[in-house]
Homo-oligomer: A and B are copies of this chain.
Amino acid sequence: MIPVDDRGLLLGDGLFETLLAIDGKPQHFGAHMARMARGCAVLRLAPPSPDEAMAHAAAAPEASGLTRGRAVVRLTLTAGSGRGLERPADARPRLLASASPIGEPAPEVRLALVAIRRNETSPVSRIKSLSYLDNVLARAEARHKGAEEALMLNTRGELACAAAANLFWITEDRLQTPALECGVLDGIMRSQVVEAAVELGVQAAQVHATPEALEGAQAIFLTNSLIGAQPVAALDGRPIARHALVEAIRSRLRTY
C-alpha cells in the first residue's frame, strides 16, 4: 500500500524500471539503475542507493514465490508525498518493488502506426516516467487496429518507437534505430543490441528517419528487457520479411 498523497499517484511524478528476473535474479541491474539515476537528474530527485534498490529488487521475486524461471520485477520510484505541481521541500522519494510471473516472449509481433505521437520537446519522452498514459493509449489504439504493438512517430513525423519497446530496422544489411533526440527511451536492450551488432561487425546507426524508411527495410524488430529482440511480422497489415541478422543478434543477447 502507498499513501494517497503520493506524487507518483497524484501527478505521475516519478520513475520506473522493468527488469527481467531469471531464477529470482534481476538481469542488467547496473544498467537499469544507471538509467534510473539519469531520470532522477531530469526530475531533480535524489537517486535511490543501488544497495537499497538491489535489496528491493532481489526480495520481490522471493516474496512472490517467483525464484524459478522468468519473472518481471518492477521498481517504482515516486517523488514522495505532496499536493500541487511544486514539490514540498521536505518531499522524500519512495522506492517500491514488486514481481510478477511472465511467459516466454511471443516469437513475433504485428505493428500498427498510431495517431498519438511522442513529444520529443519534453525530456519525459526520454525517461521511463510514471506519466505513461500516452503509451497506454497508443497500445490500445494498436490493439483496436488488430496489431499487438504501436508504431509511434514523434511530432515532427519522424520514426520514434513502439508503446513499450525500441524500434530497429535493417537496410542494406545495416541496423538503424531512431536517435534518442527523436523522443526515444534509451532502452537497456537497445544498447545491448547495438553492442551485439558491433561484435558481429555490423554498423548500427542512430538516425532521424521518416516512416518511408521502413518501406524498403529488409526486416524490422523491437527490443526491450522482457522480449529481448522480437521480429516484426507485419506493419499495418503488410508482411515484413525476416533477416538472419536479427536471429544472430538474438543469440548474442544473454538471457534470451
Contacts and interface: CB of A to CB of B under 8 A. Distances in A.
User: How many copies make up the complex?
Assistant: 2
Given A117-B122, A124-B137, A9 B85 contact: no
A63 interface: no
Interface centre among A130, A136, A137, A140 (most CB of B within 10 A): A136
B155 A121 contact: yes
Contacts of A4: 1-2, 76, 96, 98
A163 interface: yes
Given A1-B1, A96-B4, A134-B131, A140 B44 contact: yes
Given A116-B122, A122-B116, A139-B86, A130 B12 contact: yes
A9 B76 contact: yes
Nearest to A164: B85
A10 B5 contact: no
Given A12-B133, A131-B133, 7 more contacts: A9-B76, A10-B130, A12-B130, A85-B136, A86-B143, A117-B122, A155-B155
